[in-house]
Structure 1
């Protein structure tokens, strides 16, 4: 068990459901208003982009990427590999999904062998501890650092089920390749040299968060993940095909991101918002629970090196700089000190703050 006093009393949501599926403790209950109701009719408008065309410099697809980042901050890709084979449809991902299901089915005492410890952001459990006033998310997670490789702490990597560790590594290597291709395309649409963003990610930071949201008897009274924007450069998400849980903010409305078979979801992070001087915005998103099905998703966070300095590119500044220069590591770690709340953290990077 963790030595972290906060972690000591964070309830395991999966175990709560096992013990009594009808009960939801008060610390998870939230109040929803009419504005929280999702707009299902807008889901079909979320952009779909072919990453294989992007990798070949296809102008129409680059224009679509520009519009997606400006207007939505999110898009789905129905071709997630630059080599033509869909990342989400290959054997690696099939093994990842099977291994993940088996991992979360392990007894709690087995999973707790890699439980997050004090001062660590790797392992199993919940990233943030509970408090008297903080509402908890209806989810458990496995969080691992992948790149740079020296950041890996293997004592927090699962040893069961057999072979799961290797599948995670293979999947994350493929995501890294896709992410690097996306950084090249983002450089182009920002009017930069193709490798400019990659040069700011010489030691690309990449972490994986596997989210497990159990079913809930009153799904409209809990949140699997609270609304937040990502402090990343970009985030690449794989979600299961049969459960819709991700919702994004669009002009004050919550829009469900309905899974497309063999597709990935990509979203703009805070670093891109700063580099683009606000042209491309990181968007609030959340995850909701389902009454009868559990939901598993795989969020890969791609970030600059902790020593990288992030500020608006000169060519993106038309009149004034919206953001000041920030050292990325300081920006990231300050966000990890408490539960993310909407877009509150990026306000600390605004010019004048």
Structure 2
């Protein structure tokens, strides 16, 4: 059971004594309850805090796009957001593979390589993206997460500023990957938080309506099961990847893309590939905007209702020595309606070495450099989002 005490606009952890089941049971205490009545406190992993919260990332602060649109109506777009129209234009819709999670689980439990596992293997090899249906995360958990995100971005700007990113920090409300005053900016605001392991949470940055803790645990369970099946598909023992994900890192990025009258000239999220192993994206409202790059064409992805959109990250490409590749993707915006989404990023634990797995690369040359977890992430967060340029720097061939 995780007990929280409400104090002003933050939630402070005052007691932690629970059995891990993939979910956290949360109970809110009145602020008058003294911490001295708690039986024991959560122990904070100092090394994790150092790696995740004290790196000099130096992303520059930028104005809130949501506030700018509210003040001007969105008719005037500052030059720093404008891009050539050809850089924003998309193509026909991408029909990415659809994977049934319940069928995968059954095949995993029976320890057999069935049709759904083969379909997943093909999706990872050929697309790097797929939509996951029947994922077992309860509807009330999903809807609770959606409501939390919508409520946060509806808060007054002065309230949201209480959770603003501090210089040199990754977490909070604002924007990432801004390194110069003349850099083109994304048409979006974000709330970025670390959610796993639970003691890595910076509770000062969790608003009165925090993202649902149960959602964090539930999607990590899904990610772990997917990774187990992927390991099997690659001819690996389940432990080859699972052991690296014990106390693995999870972060969530909650995205708000305001409407833009010149939507054909702005980008909500610059082209990039994700750093981690797997990313699970939840579409919060009906407005779509995700696009993937395939055969040098930008293809819009139409979310299947109730599904997660899952993609391979850079770390998984390194682990598999390029057998499964991360895919460049971006977000565009709508001229009339806001778009909201949340991405849950799943990474190995902080002790993991990021290099091609010896079980895969035993009889071939490593295609990527070897880095420890902290160095890999510091390099990622100090590199401008620009396609797959980050991973290209790690290639040996």
- Say if 1:308 and 1:329, in contact at 8 Å, map to a contact too: no
Find the aligned partners of 1:31 and 1:278 in 2 and give their Cα distance: 32
Question: CA offset at residue 131 of structure 1?
Answer: 2.5
- Deviation sequence 1:84-130 (CA, Å, 0-9, x none): xxx3x601221222222121111111001010112211111112346
What is the match of residue 388 of structure 2? 343
What is the match of residue 72 of structure 1? 127
Question: CA offset at residue 76 of structure 1?
Answer: 0.3
Indicate the SS of the match to 2:84.
Answer: coil
- Say if 1:306 and 1:330, in contact at 8 Å, map to a contact too: no
Indicate the SS of the match to 2:282.
Answer: strand
Indicate the SS of the match to 1:200.
Answer: helix
Out of 2, 16, 26, the residue aligned to residue 68 of structure 2 is: 16
- Say if 2:60 and 2:180, in contact at 8 Å, map to a contact too: no
Q: What value does the CA root-mean-square deviation take over the aligned residues?
A: 2.0
What is the match of residue 52 of structure 1? 102
Q: Does 1:28 align with 2:64?
A: no
Unaligned runs of 5+ residues in structure 1 are 82-86
- Say if 1:305 and 1:329, in contact at 8 Å, map to a contact too: no
Find the aligned partners of 2:179 and 2:372 in 1 and give their Cα distance: 29
Find the aligned partners of 1:130 and 1:187 in 2 and give their Cα distance: 37
What is the match of residue 323 of structure 2? 279
Change (3 A) 1:130 1:271: closer
Indicate the SS of the match to 2:145.
Answer: helix
Find the aligned partners of 2:284 and 2:196 in 1 and give their Cα distance: 24
- Say if 2:60 and 2:167, in contact at 8 Å, map to a contact too: no
Find the aligned partners of 2:187 and 2:88 in 1 and give their Cα distance: 17
Q: Does 1:303 align with 2:356?
A: no
What is the match of residue 13 of structure 2? none
Question: CA offset at residue 246 of structure 1?
Answer: 0.3
Out of 229, 249, 261, the residue aligned to residue 205 of structure 1 is: 249
Question: CA offset at residue 139 of structure 1?
Answer: 0.2
Mapping of residues 202-241 of structure 1, within 5 Å? 202-240=246-284
Question: CA offset at residue 36 of structure 1?
Answer: 5.0
Out of 141, 152, 162, the residue aligned to residue 201 of structure 2 is: 152
Q: Does 1:91 align with 2:144?
A: no
Change (3 A) 1:260 1:328: same
Find the aligned partners of 2:284 and 2:301 in 1 and give their Cα distance: 11
- Say if 1:28 and 1:138, in contact at 8 Å, map to a contact too: yes
What is the match of residue 140 of structure 1? 189
Question: CA offset at residue 183 of structure 1?
Answer: 1.2
Q: TM-score, normalised by structure 2?
A: 0.80
Out of 36, 39, 42, the residue aligned to residue 91 of structure 2 is: 39
Q: TM-score, normalised by structure 1?
A: 0.90
Find the aligned partners of 1:9 and 1:329 in 2 and give their Cα distance: 23
Higher CA-based Rg: 2
- Say if 2:61 and 2:175, in contact at 8 Å, map to a contact too: no
Unaligned runs of 5+ residues in structure 2 are 1-55, 108-112
- Deviation sequence 1:130-158 (CA, Å, 0-9, x none): 63321000000011101112211111111
- Deviation sequence 1:152-175 (CA, Å, 0-9, x none): 11111112xxxx32x521111111
What is the match of residue 84 of structure 1? none
Greater Cα offset, 236-245 or 213-222: 236-245
Question: CA offset at residue 314 of structure 1?
Answer: 3.4
Question: CA offset at residue 9 of structure 1?
Answer: 5.2
Change (3 A) 1:63 1:131: same
- Deviation sequence 1:314-351 (CA, Å, 0-9, x none): 34336432113221221111111243211111122212
Indicate the SS of the match to 2:379.
Answer: helix
What is the match of residue 236 of structure 2? 192
